[in-house]
A and B are shown apart, each in its own frame.
Chain A
Amino acid sequence: SQTIHQWPATLVQPVGSPLSLECTVEGTSNPNLYWYRQAAGRGLQLLFYSVGIGQISSEVPQNLSASRPQDRQFILSSKKLLLSDSGFYLCAWTPWIANEKLFFGSGTQLSVL
C-alpha cells in the first residue's frame, strides 16, 4: 500500500533562517507531488506541483522553492524565512493518471518568529 511521510511535524525558526521540509512517498511510482500551505483560518493554497523528477511548477511567486531530486521525494526550501511564511505545510500526492484524489501527508506546522 502507498504511504506518504512528511517531516518534521513542527518547526520553530527565526526570521532570516533557512528552511527545508521533506516529503517522501512509498508504494507507488511516478506520482504527481504537491506542496500546499494553509495559513491560520485560511484555505489550502497550492504552492508547487511536480509531474516528474526535476519538473517543478510554481503557482504562487514567493520566498520558497521546491525540488524533486528523486521520483518519490519532494523538498520545500527557503534561503531566508519571512514572518509571513508561517503556516501549516502539507505535502500531497496523486497517481499520475487523471481524476484521482489527493493523499495528504500529516503536515508541518511552521512558526517563524
Chain B
Amino acid sequence: QQPVQSPQAVILREGEDAVINCSSSKALYSVHWYRQKHGEAPVFLMILLKGGEQKGHDKISASFNEKKQQSSLYLTASQLSYSGTYFCGTENYGGSQGNLIFGKGTKLSVKP
C-alpha cells in the first residue's frame, strides 16, 4: 500500500520552514526519508524505527507517530540546497523485510 505524501509541492523563501507529511493505511514498521535532486539518485536522510522516535541533523528532523501510522519531515530555516523532491519510504508489518514502498514525493523549491 503506497503511503500518501502531502503536500505535493511547496515553494519557500530562504529561511522559511516547511513540514512534509507521510501517511499510511497500514501499520508501519519503519519510515525512511530520502531527497532527490533532478536527474540524480535519491539520497538518504534518516530512518525512524520506533513509534514516537524523532531524529534530526542540521536543520532537518523527522518524527514517527506509530499509532497514527504517519511520519513528518521538518525543514527549518530552509536553504537553497534543500530544494528537491522528498520521498518517504515505508516498511509495513508483515511485508518483506527491507522492501520499501515509496510515496509519490513532495517537490520542494527554495527561492532566494
Contact = CB atoms under 8 A, between A and B. Distances in A.
Contacts, number: 55
Interface centre among A45, A99, A103, by most chain B C-beta atoms within 10 angstroms, is A99
Interface in A58-106: 59, 88, 90, 94, 98-106
B41 A106 contact: yes
B39 A102 contact: no
A36 B102 CA distance: 10
B58 interface: no
B40 to A, nearest CB: 7
Contacts of B103: 43
A102 B2 contact: no
Given A43-B2, A44-B87, A49-B96, A102 B101 contact: no
Interface of A: 32, 34, 36, 42-46, 49, 57, 59, 88, 90, 94, 98-107, 109
